[in-house]
Amino acid sequence: MQKMELLRNCSLWVLPILFMILCSNGVNASHQVFMRLQSSSAFSVRKIHRTGYHFQPPKHWINDPNGPMYYNGIYHLFYQYNPKGSVWGNIVWAHAASTDLVNWIRLEHAIYPSKVFDKYGTWSGSATILHNKPVILYTGIIDANNTQVQNYAIPADLSDPLLRKWIKPDNNPLVVADKSINKTQFRDPTTAWLGRDGLWRILVGSVRRRRGVAILYRSRDFMKWIKAKHPLHTSAKTGNWECPDFFPVSTNHTEGLDTSFDGENVKHVLKVSLDVTRFEYYTIGTYHTKKDRYIPDDGMTDGWKGLRLDYGNFYASKTFYDPLKNRRVLWGWTNESDVVPTDAKKKGWAGIQAIPRKLWLDPSGRHLVQWPIEELEILRKQKVELRNHNLDKGEMVEVQGITAAQADVEVTFSFSSLKNAEEFDPSWADLYAQDVCAMRGSTVQGGLGPFGLLTLTSENFEEYTPVFFRVFKAQDKYKVLMCSDASRSSVRNNIKIYKPSFAGFVDVDLSDKKLSLRSLIDHSVVESFGAGGKTCITSRVYPALAIFDEAHLYAFNNGTETITIETLNAWSMNKPER
């Protein structure tokens, strides 16, 4: 075992409070144009930092996952892709197919600019199974002024199991902005749902005087769409709503529901991606079907202080109902944080998709729960285990026998008492969780925590990305902070590298005095799930030393309370077919 003193000697990296949240999260706007670079094809692709088992094409830029669906035994993933360069531009709907959501076949592009109604762009959208036939709704850009309309596409040949060719009928566009809508902020139609009245409904994201808007449209035949008098939901001071998603969740089981489900024991979720913060937020509430209005539950917050699907590098997500396994599956884009646009050509690629996750409503009704799809386990190999191992203050243990740069780790920590939990400073009440993490990181000795995993660690601890818990006492309650801290993830001095202390609070009952953590480590991404998926954080990191076989993995404790590793299971991960 090695002492945490090695880590404390590192300089403390302090994040300017609130500035990062309110001004930048290291993500360029997904539609930021770099004219001279967008068609500059990669001459080579740097292998360092490319992922082993996360989805990414062989080269060039990707962003939003689009239109995921299950149809006739095949899973389909479409995604925004630049076939000509490694920055955003020339966007098409790239297409891949799979039978297990893990191994993918790349197919020809499904949708690309070719018509008057999408001449300047084919942007994000969704898929709907309409009378047992798939239909894609997507945003088309019709002119150089960025005018946005909503179009549809259908398979050219339904007998083709891979649905390789798609056509865009000439009666497009289906939906055009009226005078009340900002036509340049009018995009990303949702999966449609069918009401009891026989009308189909979709949402389109927009903004009106800094007020985010989910504009509602109805149609009887899926061809003629009429805007509802009122939006489904709207919220002030949030900015533009991109990539809205609206779907039902069960209040009494973890199985998914079809988007059109209308029955008892159901809540609805409205998720939006905020242009301003480049993060995603959701609320849980009641969908009043007769009025076509969505009302968030008491205590739910729209916007910047609200719940997030993921508290890290995760944006433009999309869910779909999987009838094969009765689940709702979530896909999200995980952007790069290490390059400026001029560096992208040298790198040759940008962007990955997060591991698809099953999603359901927590029994408390206060938040969603997410967990990597079960199929991911087919990639596991070389399992190692650790049982009932105590970690005193300042101690760590290395997890050996696996490939630490490409691994799946599940660990359950326990502790005998909560009495050593630190007092939660009342002055932190208005801060974001990641601000608290920046001040009380893994090297700051605590009472009950910090404890967790040190991922992608170099031999002499110059680089490491800790994922950890810290338990605070706030009056008569306990607050659990979960952090994924990239601030020491790389010795590279490029000032453009975004290395935040991502964090979220975990809504968990500590009566059993246990906390669990799962981390998916994949060279330049650490995707973590706290307390069975109650809080999720994805970090992009770019080590210079902790790469390939030089990466190490540890479990650690830097609190005065002894922590027991009840169980730790870790696996090296194979590469899927793609």
Of residues 358, 283, 332, 254, the one with CA closest to residue 65: 332
pLDDT single digits (tens) 273-288 = 998 888 999 999 999 9
Rounded mean pLDDT, 366-371: 98
CATH architecture, domain 61-334: 5 Propeller (2.115)
Q: How confident is the model at residue 333 (pLDDT cuts 50, 70, 90)?
A: very high
The answer to whether residue 207 scores a pLDDT higher than 70 is yes
Token couple for 209: 């005087």
pLDDT single digits (tens) 507-563 = 999 999 999 999 999 999 999 999 999 999 999 999 999 999 999 999 999 999 999
What residues contact 529, with CB distance under 8 A and at least 6 apart? 370, 371, 372, 517, 518, 519, 535, 536
pLDDT single digits (tens) 158-173 = 999 999 999 999 999 9
Q: For residue 254, what pLDDT is reported?
A: 97
Q: For residue 8, what pLDDT is reported?
A: 43
Q: For residue 563, what pLDDT is reported?
A: 98
Distance CA 495, CA 493 (A): 6
Q: How many angstroms from the chain centroid is the CA of residue 434?
A: 17
What residues contact 413, with CB distance under 8 A and at least 6 apart? 451, 452, 469, 514, 515, 516, 517, 563, 564, 565, 566
Q: How confident is the model at residue 27 (pLDDT cuts 50, 70, 90)?
A: low
Q: For residue 378, what pLDDT is reported?
A: 98
Rounded mean pLDDT, 195-216: 96
Return the number of other C-beta atoms located less than 10 Å from residue 427's C-beta: 7
Rounded mean pLDDT, 419-444: 94
64 is catalytic: yes
pLDDT single digits (tens) 67-119 = 999 999 999 999 999 999 999 999 999 999 999 999 999 999 999 999 999 99
pLDDT single digits (tens) 337-356 = 887 777 778 899 999 999 99
Distance CA 81, CA 93 (A): 6
Distance CA 434, CA 21 (A): 9
CB-neighbour burial class of residue 51 (10 A; exposed 0-12, middle 13-18, buried 19+) = middle
The answer to whether residue 10 scores a pLDDT higher than 90 is no
Token couple for 454: 């040190």
Return the number of other C-beta atoms located less than 10 Å from residue 121's C-beta: 21
pLDDT, averaged across the chain: 93
Rounded mean pLDDT, 203-220: 96
The answer to whether residue 17 scores a pLDDT higher than 50 is no
Residue 44 or residue 197, greater confidence: 197
Topology of 5-21+379-573 in CATH? Answer: Jelly Rolls (2.60.120)
Catalytic option among 64, 322, 408, 522: 64
Of residues 260, 203, 213, the one with CA closest to residue 233: 213
pLDDT single digits (tens) 128-160 = 999 999 999 999 999 999 999 999 999 999 999
Residue 15 or residue 478, greater confidence: 478
Distance CA 456, CA 451 (A): 16
Report the alpha-carbon angle 478-479-481, nearest 5: 145
Q: How confident is the model at residue 408 (pLDDT cuts 50, 70, 90)?
A: very high
Q: Is the dihedral of CA 276, 321, 572, 309 positive or negative?
A: positive
pLDDT single digits (tens) 484-499 = 999 999 998 776 788 9
The answer to whether residue 573 scores a pLDDT higher than 90 is yes
The answer to whether residue 9 scores a pLDDT higher than 60 is no
Of residues 535, 453, 574, the one with CA closest to residue 54: 574
Q: For residue 5, what pLDDT is reported?
A: 43
Q: For residue 171, what pLDDT is reported?
A: 98
Distance CA 190, CA 137 (A): 8
Distance CA 441, CA 449 (A): 10
In contact, 271 and 281? CB cutoff 8 Å? yes
Q: How many angstroms from the chain centroid is the CA of residue 527?
A: 9
What residues contact 488, with CB distance under 8 A and at least 6 apart? 10, 13, 463, 464, 465, 466, 499
Rounded mean pLDDT, 324-335: 97
Of residues 529, 521, 543, 559, the one with CA closest to residue 440: 559
Per domain, the residue ranges of the chain are 5-21+379-573, 61-334
Rounded mean pLDDT, 398-409: 98
Q: How confident is the model at residue 193 (pLDDT cuts 50, 70, 90)?
A: very high
pLDDT single digits (tens) 447-482 = 999 999 999 999 999 999 999 999 999 988 999 999
Distance in angstroms between the alpha carbons of the first and the last residue of the chain: 39
Q: How confident is the model at residue 374 (pLDDT cuts 50, 70, 90)?
A: very high
Backbone angles phi, psi at 7, to 5 degrees: -85, -35
Q: For residue 341, what pLDDT is reported?
A: 76
